[in-house]
Structure 1
Amino acid sequence: MRIAIFTVTQRGKALALTLQKHFPHSQVHVLPKFYEGEEGVLPIEGDLKTTVGGLFPSRDYLIFIMATGIVVRTIAPYLQHKSQDPGVLVMDEGGEYVISLLSGHIGGANEMTLKVADKLGATPVITTASDVQGLMAVDTLAHKLKCKINDWQLTKKITAHIVNGGRVRIYGGIPASIKLPTNYEAIEKFTELIDGDYGIYIGNDPIDKNHNNILQLYPQNIVLGIGCRKDIEADTVIEAIKGALEEASIALESVKKIVTVDVKAQEKGLIEASKILGLPLEIIDRQKILEVEKDFEISSFVKNTIGVGSVSQPCAYLGCNRGRLLLEKKITNGVTVSIAEEER
């Protein structure tokens, strides 16, 4: 977890350092006059708002030990959407209360608030209606399942339905570790979703858009292994990816990352395509591919060119922790795509 802790008083710093012991990889930010060169502590250069703005997009959680009003004014310019914003927590410098201020569900702030309160013996303050009622909001469910939400309007409607006493049917892979509250009903057939007021489908294959009362949650467990010719265009890569996903009946929203071989690490078209699609690009060393390439189809031309005989298949396989190949490979205009699924 990438955690930044901000404080503007000496007493707040003492609490921040105590909190840091429970979250060792966190970074504490203090006013320069309170900075004494401690490891894991940085002085706030310039004003607080600028420092927070620089960290806001790249941190999972921001924890402020100061007045709530200061925090609201500080983060206001950087707010985007609940699907993007980090979890924001506020604490008083006496350590009595921990407030979940922003991104309580999908950003994990509510859960983090409970953790921090437990570590410090503080009182957690959570105000989201579903949590107050002991229910589970849709975005909380998605967060627990590590799923992506695409339709936020429908998400809000379903959560409102739950808060007002409604029940929602769910179909799809729900791990045994997830205990569903009473406001959800797991069913055995997709068709049973259609009859209810609202339904939730958990799966990688796209559903009919005419089912406008059914929300799809996309598991983030699909990995694309890609090989391509030199100087490939980004549009060509994207076209090949979309074609492969369509052939395998898999939604783009379920793709976790793109994986390729080290010799393609600087391939501009591949890098640009990953940025356009909003997907991380992971690089696999050829030595690792050599260890498993015997299990895949070998090309003597590729072997003589880059030292390994297969790229897309072993990249997909290794990138998903040796999961299951759903599409061995599809070649389109110089781009080879393999699709693998991580075990959930």
Structure 2
Amino acid sequence: MALESAVKTAIVAVSRPGAILARRLASKLPEAELHLERRLADETDRETHLYDLPLRPVLQSLFVNRDALIVFLPVGAAVRLLAPVFAGKKMDAAVVCVDDGGHYAVSVLSGHVGGADELARRVGESIGAQPIITSASNALNVTALDLVGRKLGWRIEASPKNLTRASAAVVNGEPVALWLDPATETSWPDDSPLSDGIVIVDNPDDATVGGYAAMLIVSDRSLLPEANHPIVIYRPPTLVAGVGCRRGVDAAHLRELLTNTLQKHGLSRQSITKIATAELKADEPGIIELADWLGVPLQTYADNELNATARREPDPADTARGLSRPTASAASDLLGVFGVAEPAAMLAAGTSGVIVPRTKSDRATIAFARIPSNLSG
């Protein structure tokens, strides 16, 4: 959804009672903007967005250009006005409807993906309304698979069909297998209690023979067990890519090196959480474009920080994890830096070793480190 404004939430009222409540709500939600029908404005509405009727084009424009709408309208009226611009659950704004008496805050659209369920709770707390949330996972108090790990930056790797089928299995109380990849060293999030039907298995192969209706996997590795049921893979942000290159290397070359290295070592691109490099490469267009392509931040380190990794004593815990110690790069004497790819990855991950040692092309190097479980949230 392309935003016309940095503000992501709009509060809209069309009646005088609704306007009174909307002003109260706006004072409790400073990140939201208030929209009132022009005839309802008073001297306190200096920062309020005033609109002219008809309401339909106003509401549809806000729906398309904001992440969330709180509308003081009956549910039926809001749905009829907005239905022509519905685009699908992954694109639609969250919609919460509040009655003009301020009794109920109803999560109407994009309850999970868009956050309307949580927004309805916030509205309720702000104006004393009762949140009405009808999603099955909320009503039955079962695990909402599409929300697992969201606050921790996890990404979901599954087709919409498989996610829906796995969610239905949880709601229906069918057995669902969960495998937490020990190599990834990530636990199940505390804010997503496991439903009774979700069973932790020791090996992904166990899920193929145990009569399970679906399987959940938490891993930063590229693996896909063969199964006759839907599989949902959660990708926690555990991997750091350390990158070094010659001046002027294009992003396509770096993408190819990164992709090939991930494939060779069986790691998932979806779990990369940052790119790390030397400060002298902070303005390198290819590295900047690589970070943008991955949608992750670029972190840089000074020469003395990179050199310090060579003198760092190995952490016994990292040694037990089988991490590789950094080795001096071929250009260390020329540049005065012990290395770039391995030291930068280690520093960004907070470890004393890497899981993928420096891999070279003719113009660039890359290494991967895994963020320890005590640092990954």
- Pairing 1:1-344 to 2, within 5 Å after superposition: 3-9=8-14, 11-24=17-30, 26-31=31-36, 33=38, 34=41, 47-56=58-67, 61-68=68-75, 69-70=77-78, 73-74=81-82, 77=85, 79-82=87-90, 85=92, 87-143=94-150, 146-151=153-158, 152-172=160-180, 173-175=187-189, 178-195=192-209, 196-208=212-224, 210-213=226-229, 214-261=231-278, 263-275=280-292, 277=293, 279-287=294-302, 290-291=304-305, 293-296=307-310, 301=331, 310-320=339-349, 325-342=354-371, 343-344=376-377
Distance 1:311 1:17, change over 3 A: farther
Q: Is the 8 A contact 2:301 2:344 kept in 1?
A: no
Evaluate the alpha carbon distance shift between residue 256 and residue 19 of structure 1 in structure 2; reply closer, same or farther with a 3 A threshold. Answer: farther
Tell me if structure 2 keeps the 8 A contact 1:316–1:325: yes
Indicate how the Cα distance of structure 1 residues 153 and 40 shifts in structure 2: closer, same or farther if over 3 A, else same: farther
Shift of 1:274: 4.2
Counterpart contact for 1:259–1:284, Cα < 8 Å: yes
The separation in 1 between residues aligned to 2:140 and 2:179, in whole angstroms, is 24
Distance 1:123 1:339, change over 3 A: same
Counterpart-to-counterpart distance in 1, 2:155 and 2:275: 17
Distance in 1, Cα, partners of 2:279 & 2:46: 35
User: For the Cα contact (< 8 Å) 2:277–2:301, is it kept in 1?
Assistant: no
Give 3-state SS (helix, strand or coil) of 2:355's partner.
strand
- Quick one: structure 1 residues 329 and 98, their matched pair in 2 at CA, closer, same or farther if it must change by over 3 Å? farther
Distance 1:226 1:43 in 2: 51
SS at match of 2:359: strand
Following superposition, the deviation at residue 169 of structure 1 comes to 1.7
| Partner AA of 1:50 in structure 2 | S
SS where residue 239 of structure 1 aligns?
Answer: helix
Residue type of the alignment partner of 1:19: L
Other structure's SS at 1:236 match: helix
- Unpaired runs of 5+ in structure 2? 1-5, 181-186, 311-326
Aligned AA for 1:54?
Answer: N
Q: Aligned equivalents of 2:360 and 2:165: distance in 1? A: 41
Residues 158-167 or 318-327, more deviating: 318-327
Superposed CA deviations along residues 88-139 of structure 1, whole A, max 9, x for unmatched, are 4333344322222233224333233234323432111212223222222321
Contact 2:257 2:361 in 1 (8 A): yes
Cα pair 1:98 1:116 within 8 Å, conserved: yes
> Quick one: distance in 1 between partners of 2:278 and 2:19?
45
Cα distance, 1:23–1:129 mapped onto 2, change above 3 Å: same
Question: What CA RMSD, in Å, does the superposition of the two structures yield over aligned residues?
Answer: 3.8
Q: Secondary structure at the match of 1:180?
A: coil
| Superimposed CA distance per residue, residues 216-273 of structure 1 (whole angstroms, 9 cap, x where no aligned partner) | 2221332323222222223211111112222332112222343445554554434444
**What per-residue deviation string (whole Å, max 9, x for no partner) do you get for residues 178-219 of structure 1?**
421213222333332112232111111122353352322221
Question: What TM-score do the two structures reach when normalised by structure 1?
Answer: 0.78
Farther off after superposition, 291-300 or 113-122: 291-300
Distance change in 2, residues 1:255/1:283 (3 Å)? closer
Identify if the C-alpha distance between structure 1 residues 209 and 171 changes in structure 2 by more than 3 Å, giving closer, same or farther: closer
- CA deviation vs aligned residue, 1:273-317 (integer Å, no higher than 9, x gap): 445x4x224233545x64454114565957976x86543345434
How far apart are the structure 2 equivalents of 1:245 and 1:332? 14
Q: 1:136·1:181 contact (CA, 8 Å) conserved in 2?
A: yes
2:200 counterpart letter in structure 1? A
Distance 2:104 2:19 in 1: 16
Distance 1:22 1:325 in 2: 47
Return 5+ residue gaps in structure 1 as ranges. none
Kindly state the Cα deviation for residue 157 of structure 1 after the two structures are TM-superposed.
1.0
The answer (yes or no) to whether the contact 2:261–2:359 under 8 Å persists in 1 is yes
* Cα pair 1:106 1:142 within 8 Å, conserved: no
| TM-score calculated relative to the size of structure 2 | 0.72
**Residues 47 and 262 (structure 1), Cα distance of their counterparts in 2 relative to 1, 3 Å cut:** farther
What secondary structure does 2:286 align onto?
Answer: helix
The 3 A distance-change label for structure 1 pair 90 and 274 is farther
Partner of 2:249: helix, strand, or coil? Answer: coil
For the pair shown, the structure with the greater C-alpha radius of gyration is: 2
Aligned length: 334
The AA in structure 2 aligned to 1:336 is: T
Counterpart-to-counterpart distance in 2, 1:237 and 1:182: 45
Change (3 A) 1:169 1:284: closer
